[in-house]
Amino acid sequence: MNGPENILVDLAQMWRRRDPMPDSLVAKALAAIGTANLDADYELLHLVERSHELAGTRSGVGDTRTIAFSGGAFSLLLRVSELTDRSCRVDGWVSPPQAMTVKVTQQARSFQALVDTLGRFEISPLPTGLTRFWLLSEDAADESERSFATPTFEL
């Protein structure tokens, strides 16, 4: 009666109760897939690190987070500083440094900025929320320089 398979069913039930999937995860996955068709020519970057520095001020304003993505030899580092509880400033660095266009998409909104030849860019203010970064190589003719996209993540 209480064979191993029944126990596994009970265990699955238990973990579902104790550590449930976030309610928004399915919606996020669908949103990511929804834009994926647009990005056939983009190489997907992976999240490699997130860190959080608390500024010690009230209500999180002034907090700074660092989020790093990479894909092959390319990497993107974002420094996110809270401006208000609904907006932030993003300073970005791409490596290797190269002139690129950076596009930021959030649901129906999008923002754009230029990456300078030293690989730096900034976008401010940027609303917080589910966000995706797209980096378009300026020199599409150069095969060594490609275009990149991050997964959708919470800014």
Partner 1 sequence: MNVVATKDVKGPSVSLPDASDASNDASVWAQAADHFRRWRAGEPFAIDDLVRTLTPVLWHVVRSYGLGRGEAEDVVQTTWLALVRSHTSISDPQAVTSWLTTTARREAWRVLRATSRAVLVGDEVIEVRTAPQRPVEVDAIAAEESDRLWDCVRLMSLRCQALLRIVAFDDRPDYAGIAAHLQMPIGSIGPTRGRCLDKLKTLLAMDCGPRR
Q: Supply the minimum distance, in Å, between the C-beta of residue 2 and partner 1.
A: 7
Residues in touch with partner 1 (CB under 8 A): 2, 4, 7-30, 32-33, 36-37, 40, 44, 46-50, 130, 151-154
Q: Supply the minimum distance, in Å, between the C-beta of residue 117 and partner 1.
A: 28
What would the two tokens of residue 99 be?
């002139």
Nearer to partner 1, 27 or 114 (CB): 27
**For residue 87, which amino acid is it?**
S
Query: Phi and psi (nearest 5°) for 74?
Result: -100, 140
Nearer to partner 1, 107 or 124 (CB): 107
Q: Supply the minimum distance, in Å, between the C-beta of residue 134 and partner 1.
A: 13
Residue 147 · residue 42 · CB < 8 Å: yes
What's the chain's Rg over C-alpha atoms?
19
Nearer to partner 1, 98 or 150 (CB): 150
- Please give the span between the terminal C-alpha atoms of the chain, in angstroms, as a whole number: 49
Residue 152 · residue 45 · CB < 8 Å: no
DSSP designation for 20 = P
Give burial (CB, 10 Å; 0-12/13-18/19+) of 151: middle
Residue 81 · residue 62 · CB < 8 Å: yes
Q: Supply the minimum distance, in Å, between the C-beta of residue 138 and partner 1.
A: 24
Nearer to partner 1, 10 or 139 (CB): 10
Nearer to partner 1, 124 or 129 (CB): 129
Q: Supply the minimum distance, in Å, between the C-beta of residue 155 and partner 1.
A: 12
